Structure 1
């Protein structure tokens, strides 16, 4: 699924029902014996059976579910993952919305707990809330290094799809390094997020902010989006996306320490823009509406009315395409920006700032 087909996305999160009894581990080899010099033989490890795999699933679920909670705002329902032993919980920004207080239900109790917003960071669709009190049995999740996530790994998605708390589904990592743009019409923040983990585990409304977990019991991502078929407008089964755990740790760590995100790591031009179309109503570029004084675009000489058509190696036809191009860059990076002014194409070197 390329970036151009990830624009029609909807809010979601990992789904329910444990179905693993007949799922065999892939990549295992059969038993082999080899003769040694002394005539003895050695037996290679037997392939994992369905029963062994089911036992491993159940072990991971038992370990991780106490770290996954259900979050109820006044109108929205989502999931969250316990970040530390101080009661901080990481979730999606679109789950908390504009709310300041929440009801949190843990896997071990039906009695809701009160939590308050610490900080929401819509640009990465992440937020941290904090419980008023830390109940017994609630434990922090273990977050993996998402740089080590590989395509084909078996994963479990945990959360509260459609309000069904403590639900679990399974799938695999379908791809890594996806850049995905959220839709903002159905509750999303409209963020463009880089390096997302694509998974076949079901993502449904209510699972947003939950946990995508490997078979070592480590969270590799926060499920955030389910893809929608751009032709039909409904969900595209088996195509979901999770914010990688390394980014989750970076953002949550800054919020817990400083009460906000102080180093986003996200590149920016320092402009606001809108998509422009030609006479056939086809998008042709991102028109600059406002330029931040002293920002990267200002220093490069851009001004309102300029139409950006290329950034580095990326062709820019829409503001979403511009956001996706910036998502793959870093603050301080120097790149070439191509734009049109008064019908003439011009190029300029620009040093990117931070969002």
Structure 2
């Protein structure tokens, strides 16, 4: 930029600054309730200055109230190779957490809030397909406090939330943020300690989620659990490290559906996960670019079988979502439910075909 353009730019910037200051002065006059010729009333000025600190104090009290109410329901879980968090589900000692926290272990040490003496717990059932698990305390301590659970339908972008858990082993830690988005479909990487699950309708939050937060609580200001913090996004530009301010929690509707089945039946009998009833693998084109999900096996009587999909077909689209890999196929199915009828596009012998499929259940 030459000198004349630089001076012009600075002049425009200075004019804008003057205009902003003039507008600010007008706003201050309007807030104080004075006219152009009068002086503001001292009481009005004092009340205006006190408004912001008062609102800040109210929010601080809300935080403290929620933390005091919910933190006793959040526990630390120590497995042989993993450290994570959990939420007390009922007064019988059931605790819900992530499947990747329990891993392949059967016995755990659980530390509840305000106690340094660990308790023992045993696995009831793990459901890696949705990265959820339930464990049960061998002995239920007096005063164990079950958490209160919210409603996924009432979760909205912009709501203030708190994430509670044991990040990096620091038990009873709390971070704060907002609901950044809802309805996210996220796939976990097995290499990053996840189960490889693809989970739909996840809650995205700006509250920090670090290793050890998994399985803990994402809480609204009503003191109700709205999700189970599960993973943080990674940034390839940071060498695969966590992307600040982008974390994901399993929605409470899914948590309750899975946990209730595990506690009642000892396993998950109704996953709510849509499926085609196939085994498939990712394929690439002549340029070695991802090109679809090739069907290897079709389940007899399954959704794909009934629609006429055969081994050797390459699925390239589900509904309006392109399919280039096994992961993208799982993500496309995660946004649907068993029983839904959806168009599936595939190639066979170089020709493209589309059929309507009534989705089954995984």
In the superposition, the TM-score normalised over structure 2's length comes to 0.84
Deviation of the 1:199 alpha carbon: 0.3
Alignment partners' CA distance in 1, 2:202 and 2:73? 22
Q: Which residue number in structure 1 is paired with residue 23 of structure 2?
A: none
Secondary structure of the 2:192 match is: coil
**Total equivalences in the alignment:** 317
Secondary structure of the 2:104 match is: coil
Alignment check: 8 A CA contact 1:287 1:308 kept: yes
Deviation of the 1:303 alpha carbon: 2.0
Alignment partners' CA distance in 2, 1:175 and 1:70? 27
- 320, 337, 343: which one aligns with 2:350: 343
After superposition, residues 228-247 of structure 1 pair within 5 angstroms as: 228-232=234-238, 233-247=240-254
Between structure 1 and structure 2, the one with the greater Rg is 2
Alignment partners' CA distance in 1, 2:138 and 2:71? 21
Deviation of the 1:136 alpha carbon: 2.3
Secondary structure of the 1:59 match is: helix
Alignment partners' CA distance in 2, 1:331 and 1:62? 40
Q: Which residue number in structure 2 is paired with residue 307 of structure 1?
A: 314
Deviation of the 1:349 alpha carbon: 1.6
Q: Which residue number in structure 2 is paired with residue 274 of structure 1?
A: 281
After superposition, residues 189-208 of structure 1 pair within 5 angstroms as: 189-208=195-214
**2:169 corresponds to 1:153:** no
Listed as ranges, the gaps of 5+ residues in structure 1 are 1-29, 34-42
Alignment partners' CA distance in 2, 1:238 and 1:298? 43
Q: Which residue number in structure 1 is paired with residue 218 of structure 2?
A: 212
Alignment partners' CA distance in 1, 2:328 and 2:83? 30
Listed as ranges, the gaps of 5+ residues in structure 2 are 1-29, 34-46
Secondary structure of the 2:311 match is: coil
Alignment partners' CA distance in 1, 2:280 and 2:176? 40
Greater mean alpha carbon deviation, residues 247-256 or residues 229-238: 229-238
Alignment check: 8 A CA contact 1:68 1:166 kept: yes
Deviation of the 1:237 alpha carbon: 0.3
- 332, 341, 348: which one aligns with 1:334: 341
Bigger relative contact order, structure 1 or 2 (CA pairs below 8 A, ≥6 apart): 1
Q: Which residue number in structure 2 is paired with residue 101 of structure 1?
A: 107
Secondary structure of the 2:191 match is: coil
In the superposition, the TM-score normalised over structure 1's length comes to 0.86
Closer/same/farther in 2, CA of residues 77 and 31 from structure 1, 3 Å limit = farther
Deviation of the 1:32 alpha carbon: 12
CA root-mean-square deviation: 2.0
Q: Which residue number in structure 1 is paired with residue 5 of structure 2?
A: none
Deviation of the 1:253 alpha carbon: 0.8
Deviation of the 1:152 alpha carbon: 0.9
Q: Which residue number in structure 1 is paired with residue 58 of structure 2?
A: 52
